[in-house]
Amino acid sequence: MKRYLVLLLLPLFLNSIFGDVTITVPAVSTTDYGYVGTTINIDVRVSNGSGHVFIDTLPVTEMDMQSSARVAAKVAFDLCNKNQRDYDVYYIVRSKVPIIGGPSAGGALCVATVAQLNNWSINREVMMTGMIYPDGSIGPAGGILEKLKAAKMSGARYFLIPYGERYITVEDPYVEGGNITVDVVEYGRELGVEVVEVRSIYDAIYYFTNQTLVEENYTPNPVLEALYRKKMKGLADKILKLAKDNYHYVKARLERDPSAKLSYLLERNLKRRLEGAGENLDMAEELYSKGNYYSATSKAFGALIDLEFINTTLDYMESKDKRGYLKDYLVNIQEDIKNKKEIVGDKKLGKDNFEYILASKSRIYEGEYLLDRAWKEYYNDNPIAAIEYASYGKWRGKSGLWWLELSDGNGETIEECQLMPLAQKYLDNAEVVVLYSSMILPGIGPIEDAEEKLERAREYYERGEYLLSIGESIDAYVYATTSLNFNTDIDYLRERAEKRINKVMSRYGYLPISAMGYYEYANAFNNSFYRALYYKYSTAYAQMDMDILQEIGHNCTDQGSIFTSGNLSIPLGSKSGERKESHSTLHPVIFLFVGLVTGTLIGFFIRRDNS
């Protein structure tokens, strides 16, 4: 009888053998003598499930690795065109020493997950460091030199690093100036390791598996592109006329009114602002003539803010009760924003309008935030600063309804709670990237902006404003990653944005109006930082469209999440007993073979025992 039991359990034993992919990842550990490189082994297992991501770590790692694991899993399933909701993913992390937490294992985790989903083997002579971004790009990593040495000690022949990190600056107290620049490729050559820069997960997959995973190319959709131009042209016509009318009025007023009530510096500031508004309008006209309607609208919008500031400052200086005038001005804007919040709040969220509602809400809520800043300046007795914030806040709020008016309808209804898991993922990813960037580039302006946007994303999430939380998380993520990758290849970023836009249009038949607008706006810049910033915005918003469209139709009550503590992972809200189609095309063949062998052996023993 024991023989039969062993044979019956044989398939289960073989499942544990064939089920996992193991990858070795370089990491950094702290010692009494500073940071040193080490390696960690990560087993990846995918099973039928309900969309959970489990991580079992020993020693305990920090939360950023756990967040990276979720992003890695999502990207892997997207690349393999599989529905993540049908599977559970397990990451089992083991290290001999405590490691420094960080998101730089994300790229390797993604590679291993793709390999597991496709039953590919991993080349153990290849190692990699670099975080994974939701669009499949590879982000920066720290401790590259220490990790390279650890990779060499573990037998690596190839070491993959994020694109743009070939040359790194390290502190050296023994040289004048305290810093030296190291060519990582050259240093790897000295160690006998070939160092390769990789831009995306597609590059990394080839080195690890010798398999080529080709990103599907989607052609542009001329019908949706024409619809985009029509919508943007209508908006540009409206805003350009409004800005030009305001410009002529304010220019005449500034020239006509006596300047005796203005100080020299204030008068000079107002004239400089008028000049800037004129330049923005000239640029808007030029962009409009080239068919760049979104960019033209953006420039005209900038002119409107300057003109509002000039006109309101003149009103303030001419009023007898200056403080009373300013208070009334702020109250009027406050009431206007309140009314606009009610208007957009009454709109039902749907498949065809979620982008427009997000654009509308984010602008109106930002107007409210700017007005709060204006009130602070008012009570601190800084009237000109209060007018500055209020002018921006007023027109930011007004622009919210412009976007709402572009919407064609609701389409299939979306309950806000359906977006909660997605908002959580976006928030987790933003938190990891912002934390990492703030450690590397503390006090940098864009990083501080990213931290501020992240805080607002958390607030919106807590309030159940999941769509707004996603938008603010994108803002935080884009600002942080652009600061980390200042020298990123602009051509690559443009190509990524194009591919994502075409994918949304062709695969989903959806107009990614924000992504197309940001793409167009990026082309209007010569500055590499801003071009990179808006190409990344374009990619992120196109990805958001696809993510949200995939969430439509799921029940709000069927939302699983993961609580991870130390080396214990507990699924919340999962349904026991569910079984779905296997992820593997190889496993059924193996089990068929094992089943035949097992059946033959059992039959042999039964016949022998009965003879």
Domains of the chain by residue range: 20-209, 222-405, 416-551
Report the distance separating Cα 410 and Cα 415, nearest Å. Answer: 12
Please report, for the chain, how many H helices and E strands are present, in that order: 19, 13
Report the distance separating Cα 126 and Cα 547, nearest Å. Answer: 32
User: Around Cβ 310, how many Cβ atoms within 10 Å?
Assistant: 25
Report the distance separating Cα 57 and Cα 43, nearest Å. Answer: 11
Q: What is the DSSP string of 447-506?
A: HHHHHHHHHHHHHHHHTT-HHHHHHHHHHHHHHHHHHHTTT--HHHHHHHHHHHHHHHHH
pLDDT at 414: 87
Q: What is the DSSP string of 360-372?
A: HHHHHHHHHHHHH
Closest CA to 358 of 470, 445, 440: 470
Report the distance separating Cα 531 and Cα 511, nearest Å. Answer: 22
Could you tell me the CA-to-CA distances from 422 to 416, 546, 556 in Å, in that order? 11, 11, 12
pTM summary value? 0.82
Report the distance separating Cα 383 and Cα 390, nearest Å. Answer: 10
Catalytic residue from among 67, 95, 104, 569? 104
Judge contact between 554 and 418, C-beta under 8 A: yes
What phi and psi, each to the nearest 5 degrees, are found at residue 42?
Answer: -125, 120
pLDDT at 196: 96
pLDDT at 220: 92
Judge contact between 258 and 486, C-beta under 8 A: no
Beta strands, E only, 74-149: 87-95, 126-128, 131-132, 138-139
What phi and psi, each to the nearest 5 degrees, are found at residue 498?
Answer: -60, -45
Look-up of token digits 């390797």: 108
Local structure of 102: helix, strand or coil:
coil
Judge contact between 561 and 424, C-beta under 8 A: yes
Report the distance separating Cα 134 and Cα 477, nearest Å. Answer: 10
**161 token code pair:** 């690093």
| Averaged pLDDT, groups of 10, the chain, 611 residues long | 45 48 87 77 93 82 72 91 92 77 85 95 94 88 91 95 89 75 95 95 94 87 96 97 97 77 87 96 97 96 97 94 97 97 92 94 96 97 97 97 89 88 90 80 72 94 96 93 73 92 94 97 89 94 94 63 40 34 39 43 46 46
Please tell me what DSSP assigns to residue 80: T
Report the distance separating Cα 234 and Cα 213, nearest Å. Answer: 42
Instruction: Write a three-state SS string for 243-295.
Output: HHHHHHHHHHHHHHCCCCCCCHHHHHHHHHHHHHHHHHHHHHHHHHHCCCHHH
What phi and psi, each to the nearest 5 degrees, are found at residue 325?
Answer: -60, -45
What phi and psi, each to the nearest 5 degrees, are found at residue 400?
Answer: -60, -45
pLDDT at 595: 44
Catalytic residue from among 95, 137, 147, 295? 147
Report the distance separating Cα 502 and Cα 8, nearest Å. Answer: 51
pLDDT at 27: 87
Report the distance separating Cα 481 and Cα 447, nearest Å. Answer: 9
The H-or-E segment that residue 114 falls in is helix 106-118
**544 token code pair:** 């958001």
Judge contact between 114 and 78, C-beta under 8 A: no
pLDDT at 412: 82
pLDDT at 239: 97
pLDDT at 29: 78
Could you tell me the CA-to-CA distances from 136 to 11, 74, 242, 384, 515 in Å, in that order? 36, 10, 42, 46, 17
Report the distance separating Cα 12 and Cα 296, nearest Å. Answer: 64
User: Around Cβ 412, how many Cβ atoms within 10 Å?
Assistant: 10
Could you please state the CATH topology (level 3) that the domain comprising 20-209 is classified under. Ribosomal Protein S5; domain 2 (3.30.230)
Q: What is the pLDDT of residues 513-523, one digit of tens each?
A: 999 999 999 99
Look-up of token digits 């073979």: 593
The CA radius of gyration of the chain, in Å to the nearest whole number, is 29
Q: How many residues does the chain have?
A: 611
Could you tell me the CA-to-CA distances from 271 to 122, 185, 491 in Å, in that order? 65, 53, 39
Judge contact between 399 and 301, C-beta under 8 A: yes
Active site residue 104: yes
Q: What is the pLDDT of residues 374-418, one digit of tens each?
A: 999 999 999 999 999 999 999 999 999 999 999 987 778 888 999
